[in-house]
Structure 1
Amino acid sequence: MIILLSPEQPVAYEVAVINALLERGLPLFHIRKYQFSDTEMMAYVNNIDSGYRQRLVLHSHFHLANELGIERLHFREEDREQNRHKAFMTGFTLSTSVHTIAAFNSLMAVWDYAFLSPIFPSISKKGYGVGYTVLDDLSLRRNLQVRLVGLGGIDQRNYSQVMSAGADGVALLGAIWKTPAPIQVFETINKHIPNGISSS
């Protein structure tokens, strides 16, 4: 499974790239736009082809989910630890983020998948993951109820290492938004990774 995260800051032709990747089979697109007003979020989502609504995941603005027809919500680690997801456990598919394999192993089955990061030093966030990465820790995975998705520094040159280490999927950010050829990068990776969207 490949997941794409939105860039935190606007990128040229952003929505056109999103629609093109969804058309080419991108399984899930995470909308990470914490700074948006409600109006901006509505406009952003409505610019994405409505036929792909079931593949969109909100990181914020959860109160707009029903109105937008979005059934997937992502909770940051701090939000999960404060149980903010508990109000959304019915009618939504939930995902979260962790930064250690121990935290991943402790997740309950309420989570469809979790991002584990940083797998490699970040492409989009300079300095993040330079001193410590979690790729080697995947061998310590004990939790098979929740799918593990690697995040951080993953691109067309190293994604296979992540899958070989035992991840169920990869999340892309800088590999797509920091390249002049986002479609080609996605298609290179997509040829080799199964789709794997959960219907839950």
Structure 2
Amino acid sequence: MNVIVITPPKCIPKETLVIKSLFDSGLQTLHLRKPGLKPDGFKRILDDIPQKYHSKIMLHSCHEVSKEYAVKGLHYPSAIRPPTPINHLEDSLLQQSTSFHTLEEVLREGGWGEGLSYAFLSPIFNSISKQGYLAAAFEEMQLEQAVRKSSVPVIALGGVSVDKIPFLHRMGFSGIATIGTIWESVDPVASFEALQSECCKLAV
């Protein structure tokens, strides 16, 4: 199972230093999510992150920045998701991801297109970072069937903590994504390493 870290929506002190430390500790994918931030703001953040790590960063908005920085790919919130089928981007190796909030989306007839690399499904559990954002009422058997039948890898998002990982593994999720478990921790790197360790144990 993969561990994906999503940035807090607003910039926080020493954020890029923490991001660098997360990459140094083995993070393979960071979702740079800053609603409302202009392209120049994204560029400033990327400039503060060593260039060798840019290829591990997915952009949630200001996708045009990908023309100047060698990022990993583009994330499409459901509101700006391109029409299906989502094909590979022309003359580009950029990955593409999106967000699902219902099992109907996960099981979309005809799939989503070969260009979609993976999708978040949320909220699986009560959110840690978003107060009042409660878990969706997914019935366990239906959830597992949908995740396992999905045409794209599904990543669990929403309230994910170390103790929830075995359940998510049983449900067939390809990975986990986290915000609050990392950014509301007194030691974000240690929290990431704990998540990563649990996922690695289940992969054996």
Give TM class, smaller chain.
Answer: 0.7 to 0.9
Scaled by the length of structure 2, the TM-score of the pair is 0.86
Structure 2 equivalent of residue 166 of structure 1: 172
Structure 2 residue runs without a partner (length 5+):
none
Structure 2 equivalent of residue 79 of structure 1: 80
Structure 2 equivalent of residue 20 of structure 1: 21
How far does residue 189 in structure 1 lie from its aligned partner after superposition?
1.2
Distance 1:176 1:191 in 2: 14
* Residue aligned with 1:12, SS: coil
Paired residues of 2:165 and 2:198 also in contact (CA < 8 A): no
1:120-199 pair list within 5 angstroms: 120-130=125-135, 132-134=136-138, 136=140, 137-141=142-146, 142-194=148-200
Structure 2 equivalent of residue 198 of structure 1: none
Structure 1 equivalent of residue 121 of structure 2: 116
Distance 1:86 1:23 in 2: 32
How far does residue 133 in structure 1 lie from its aligned partner after superposition?
4.0
Percentage of identical aligned residues: 28
Q: Deviations over 1:64-115 (max 9, x none)?
A: 10201124000011212x5399697221210000011220121423211000
How far does residue 54 in structure 1 lie from its aligned partner after superposition?
1.1
Aligned CA-pair RMSD: 2.1
How far does residue 156 in structure 1 lie from its aligned partner after superposition?
2.1
Distance 2:139 2:180 in 1: 18
* Residue aligned with 1:180, SS: coil
Structure 1 equivalent of residue 89 of structure 2: 89
Structure 2 equivalent of residue 101 of structure 1: 103
Write out the 4+ residue segments of structure 1 that deviate beyond 4 Å after TM superposition.
84-88
